[in-house]
Structure 1
């Protein structure tokens, strides 16, 4: 019988291509599976003027969208995620492993600073690539979206709003993603080492650590995510203030004026419901693909 691969004992510097390919496959798996819940989160975060587009909870949103628009509406925009997630996650995980190795994160002991630096660095690189795809995705997810294809959406947004529309939310995205990924990666590494101190290959460890890390990071960064959604969907708004929102602070002001503290928690439940299993699946897929590719 062939000797079982001890994943955690494999050399951490197995190559950039391995980490990037594993990250791309993990990213596509993560986003595709949980996309309908992400669509509900986007709908709940949008400050709609029509009562038809206002949802009181995840169950209410799911029932109303599926019954009035059909189940396909919950998948509208998934092609944008698939197109962007592969390359973006390849860059993310490639940068993550490279910086972790350079910063000494693979050495014994509690290397939380190296893990945080690696997570933040990976985010800056991957979000620059993913941000336009995320804008297109949310424009396709909103209630009564006029867009049915990624190319049509990209062309119309560029024609009507210019290139800046694809990056108006980038500073806010980084304000979310840098702490999100730093928190997620740090919590993931610490939980993984705590529940699996022998560092043996353990899918259960990757699932558990990934879910806990994702849930913590999602909860902390939800207020920023509400602002990001406002910026990325501003072109679909009828309200003049929202349509002309300029940046993160401007979005915060409008959220506070319209909904107070409660507004910053819009979409919290579906965001956590999306991210916990997504990050669990992402880390499980990433660790699996990395081990499988290295073993070939």
Structure 2
């Protein structure tokens, strides 16, 4: 399949992007979940342990049991598929349709589309993130995601599930701008033909995710505090930032950065390669149904 065919066969098909995005979401979150748990622990204002990711992980397993690193996974499993389906389908939609409204450099289209896509993604994921991070904390009293969700609702109300939504958006809009712009820029250099090329999707996804994660880590630390509500009740980004600064100083905003980057690089590499793979397969199947089907040539 030549580059034009790969990018043009039913590119407006919402079903293709929804399906490919859903599979990408499951793979991204579930494979790297234990490292995400380590990141949450390291970003905690009460954390005083090692900065070595492996040591923290091993200590959790030793003191809390072998399943402690995956506590809260069920909360993510429920939301990851629908959230990423919306994420990628809206990204593809806005990427293509923004071109019809304004004329900008390609990188700006990708940044605008990525920022818009995160509004839909985070609206679905935020409640599950709250439940997940409560369960990831040390000595969490909850054993199931449903139990945790009920406890949060009873003690803090419905608004608790979206207390960090504003901060999440403030973090994820620049994250997705950097993420999508870097991914597309890497593809321009590594995959100029814009064919399905697994190696370039993995490399581009990893580089894009790692850079975006490092840049936005301070906001992620604030989001973790808003979700976990350690100590006194914390509401709002500025209150969270103030609490972190008083507890740990400026270095507190870099808490968990190594774990976040270590989690994000492979997870975004997995996410993009899974998305591009399923998009490729689904487009191939879609093409076979069409009258103008062209046999697929060997990809690089």
Question: Could you tell me the TM-score, scaled by structure 1's length?
Answer: 0.91
Corresponding residue for 2:74?
Answer: 79
Q: Does the Cα contact within 8 Å between 1:14 and 1:294 map onto a contact in 2? A: no
Match of 1:13 among 11, 24, 42: 11
Q: Does the Cα contact within 8 Å between 1:24 and 1:87 map onto a contact in 2? A: yes
Q: Any residues of structure 2 matched to 1:1-296 within 5 Å, and which?
A: 8-11=6-9, 13-48=11-46, 54-104=49-99, 110-234=105-229, 237=230, 239=231, 243-296=232-285
Unaligned runs of 5+ in 2: 286-300
- What is the alpha-carbon distance in structure 1 between the residues aligned to residue 253 and residue 6 of structure 2? 39
Q: Aligned pairs, how many?
A: 283
- What is the alpha-carbon distance in structure 2 between the residues aligned to residue 12 and residue 211 of structure 1? 27
- What is the alpha-carbon distance in structure 2 between the residues aligned to residue 5 and residue 75 of structure 1? 42
Q: Does the Cα contact within 8 Å between 2:72 and 2:144 map onto a contact in 1? A: yes
Q: Secondary structure at the residue paired with 2:249? A: helix
Q: Does the Cα contact within 8 Å between 1:36 and 1:75 map onto a contact in 2? A: yes
CA-atom RMSD, angstroms? 1.9
Q: Does the Cα contact within 8 Å between 1:88 and 1:130 map onto a contact in 2? A: yes
Q: CA deviation at 1:293?
A: 1.2
Unaligned runs of 5+ in 1: none
Q: CA deviation at 1:21?
A: 1.1
- What is the alpha-carbon distance in structure 1 between the residues aligned to residue 6 and residue 135 of structure 2? 40
- List per-residue Cα deviations over 1:132-174 (Å, max 9, x = no partner): 0000000110001111111111111000000111001000000
Q: Does the Cα contact within 8 Å between 2:90 and 2:116 map onto a contact in 1? A: yes
Q: CA deviation at 1:71?
A: 2.0
- What is the alpha-carbon distance in structure 2 between the residues aligned to residue 60 and residue 215 of structure 1? 22
Q: Does the Cα contact within 8 Å between 2:205 and 2:265 map onto a contact in 1? A: yes
Q: Does the Cα contact within 8 Å between 1:203 and 1:284 map onto a contact in 2? A: yes
- List per-residue Cα deviations over 1:38-62 (Å, max 9, x = no partner): 000001111127x6xx443212211
- What is the alpha-carbon distance in structure 1 between the residues aligned to residue 104 and residue 154 of structure 2? 53
- What is the alpha-carbon distance in structure 2 between the residues aligned to residue 5 and residue 147 of structure 1? 52
- What is the alpha-carbon distance in structure 1 between the residues aligned to residue 221 and residue 10 of structure 2? 37
1:5–1:75 Cα change, 3 Å: farther
Q: Does the Cα contact within 8 Å between 1:206 and 1:280 map onto a contact in 2? A: yes
Q: Secondary structure at the residue paired with 2:99? A: coil
Return structure 1 stretches of 4+ with deviation > 6 angstroms.
none
Q: Does the Cα contact within 8 Å between 2:10 and 2:283 map onto a contact in 1? A: no
Corresponding residue for 2:293?
Answer: none
Q: Does the Cα contact within 8 Å between 1:55 and 1:61 map onto a contact in 2? A: yes
- What is the alpha-carbon distance in structure 1 between the residues aligned to residue 226 and residue 50 of structure 2? 20
- What is the alpha-carbon distance in structure 2 between the residues aligned to residue 21 and residue 119 of structure 1? 18
Question: Could you tell me the TM-score, scaled by structure 2's length?
Answer: 0.90
